[in-house]
Amino acid sequence: MNSVQAIAAVALVSVATALFSVYGLRPGRATSDFYVASRAVSPFRNASAIGGEYLSAASFLGVAGLVLAYGADMLWFGVGYTAGYLVLLAFVAAPLRRSGAYTVPDFAEARLESVRVRRLTALLVVLTGWLYMLPQLQGAGLTLRTVTSAPLWVGPVVVTTVVMITVASGGMRSVTFVQAFQYWLKLTALAIPVIFLLLAWRADGAPWPSADTPPRFRETTTVSVQQAVRVEVDEPVTVTVSGSLEGRQLDDTTVRLAEGEHRIGEETEVEFPAGADVPHTVGQEPLEGNDWSQL
């Protein structure tokens, strides 16, 4: 995908998101209209919205990146925050709904009859929201920079603008519509590449990889390293480096990486030949065979 196509795709998704928020627009006559969509959201749409929230940058990109960098044991991150989400539903969302309160600070003040507790809870909610939002904005910036070469700050600005339009236009009703739309969009974005990869693999007549086979590059591949990293090379390989390697600045230079540990600096591109083993992060051996099932 070239830059023009990428920009068009991002613009299309942004416009579609804004239109869905307008579709969910309903004049607010009471507080419940804004905060809980008048409690009139269908179970299917609500479930889709929850799924859309779950498939955030953290799970859609973060876990995939962690698995690539550190191995399959990073899948436990996904299991961990899934369990945390269920705890949130059972011990926070359910009591909040029964109490009639719309926010956690409202609930804390009503339950403990303390304005100080309300203020402390509000501070913790803002802090938690900021810690959650920061990696999402970083993920948006990195994603947009990767597909369009835009500056890093553009992604957070675009995301913040779209979210502000969504929330201001119709409150929780608009947010629910948008999250449900994004769930099916992300699910499609996950499914289509998998289907075409499987079809292409079988069309090549290549055998399915053995569980004991280490991951290898099927074709000449350029890897962009955004942050400095130490990698372990299991077999000597000749690569082309543009950036920092072992503390030296190289410009489209062919280098032979010996077996062992190597330091790759940030903002470095490394081109690996077809058939080369994928290097792994130091301290994280690639899993083979039945190791995957023993996590």
Q: Mean pLDDT, consecutive 10-residue segments, the chain of 295 residues?
A: 74 78 62 68 82 75 76 79 82 83 86 90 91 83 82 86 76 79 85 83 60 72 85 87 89 88 89 86 54 43
pLDDT of residue 293: 41
Which single residue is written with the structure tokens 């309300």? 118
Which of helix, strand or coil describes residue 211? coil
pLDDT of residue 292: 42
pLDDT of residue 118: 92
- pTM, two decimals, is 0.60
The pairing of beta strand 268-272 with beta strand 221-225: antiparallel
